[in-house]
Structure 1
Amino acid sequence: MKHLFTFFIIPLLLMSAISQQENFIGKWAGEDQGQLGYIMFDDDGYAAFEIQGQVMGGKEFTMNGEKGKMNYTINFETTPMEIDFTMTKIESGESKKILGIAEFKDMNTIKFDISFGDIRPSDFGDNSITLKRVE
């Protein structure tokens, strides 16, 4: 019985988590304070924010003369889902997390909220944004 669990159940759970992450892959657009912005998620675990044509994040970007990268992780076991963005300075390895929550409204619409402090939003407040898939 133990072997059945190992060979059948664990792979099914892993495939479920992978397919849920695939739902995030792509470019999402939303309007915040009258400005259109984007969040991009790739299948390698990198994310980027784009506002007014300026991209922050991805596999490599430059900010204030320093190279950095931004990864994301998603906890699908919580409601709403927890999303962590980790920005890392490539040279020093110093990192900072941006904590967020997300909830799918449909396959192409996500309600999203992030905090630039150390406390994750617990629900969708005045700062939440609705994102629509564009790619």
Structure 2
Amino acid sequence: MKKIVLLLLATILMSATAKNAEPNFVGKWTGDDNKEVGFITFDKEGYASFEVKGQVLGGKEFEMNGQKGKMTYEINTKTNPIQVDFIVTKLDTGEEKRMLCIAEFIDKNTMNFALNFDNIRPKDFLSKNAIVLTREE
């Protein structure tokens, strides 16, 4: 009887810990957007990048329109849904622009993700700018 109680207690503690664990965004995520496969990478140093059709935008340093920049990310897990901000910074001036997003984990390797290009954070995952992402790495 004692072994059964200990096993039950261990199972309850493990499931409670898993539910309270911070979601892990680090990795390469793939999504299919209108039959066009793209990737979002969150690295452990805080840099993010997008890849579509073999072109990479973001990371520690990239060039766009003759200007060098970097792309980082910030995540607020205290909100529901989770708030994700991509921050593009011009390296020469320090000027920043943010892309406001939301995320919701379906399981540890699958999430709903929505972004908006109008400097307004999406409210749900029903818009045309929502996608299901799957962790590749």
Specify the TM-score bucket, using the shorter chain as the normaliser.
Answer: 0.7 to 0.9
Deviation at 1:103, TM superposition (A): 0.4
1:15-61 per-residue CA deviation (whole Å, 9 max, x = no partner) reads: xxxx626x110000001121000000011111000000101001101
Question: Within 5 A, what are the aligned runs for 1:1-135?
Answer: 20=22, 23-126=24-127, 127-135=129-137
Deviation at 1:125, TM superposition (A): 1.7
Residue identity matched to 1:129: I
State the alpha-carbon separation in 2 of the partners of residues 29 and 102 from structure 1: 14
Residue identity matched to 2:70: K
What TM-score results when the alignment is normalised by the length of structure 2?
0.82
State the alpha-carbon separation in 1 of the partners of residues 90 and 35 from structure 2: 30
State the alpha-carbon separation in 1 of the partners of residues 28 and 70 from structure 2: 17
Q: Secondary structure at the match of 1:111?
A: strand
Please identify, of 120-129 and 51-60, the stretch whose mean Cα deviation from structure 2 is larger: 120-129
Residue identity matched to 1:37: G
Q: Which runs of 4+ in 1 moved over 3 A?
A: none
What TM-score results when the alignment is normalised by the length of structure 1?
0.83
**Which structure has the larger Rg over C-alpha atoms?**
2
Match for residue 7 of structure 1? none
Residue identity matched to 2:133: L
State the alpha-carbon separation in 2 of the partners of residues 33 and 67 from structure 1: 30
State the alpha-carbon separation in 2 of the partners of residues 108 and 77 from structure 1: 20
Consecutive unaligned residues of structure 2, counting only runs of 5 or more, are: 1-20
Match for residue 10 of structure 1? none
Residue identity matched to 1:131: L
Deviation at 1:116, TM superposition (A): 1.1
State the alpha-carbon separation in 1 of the partners of residues 67 and 100 from structure 2: 22
RMSD: 1.1
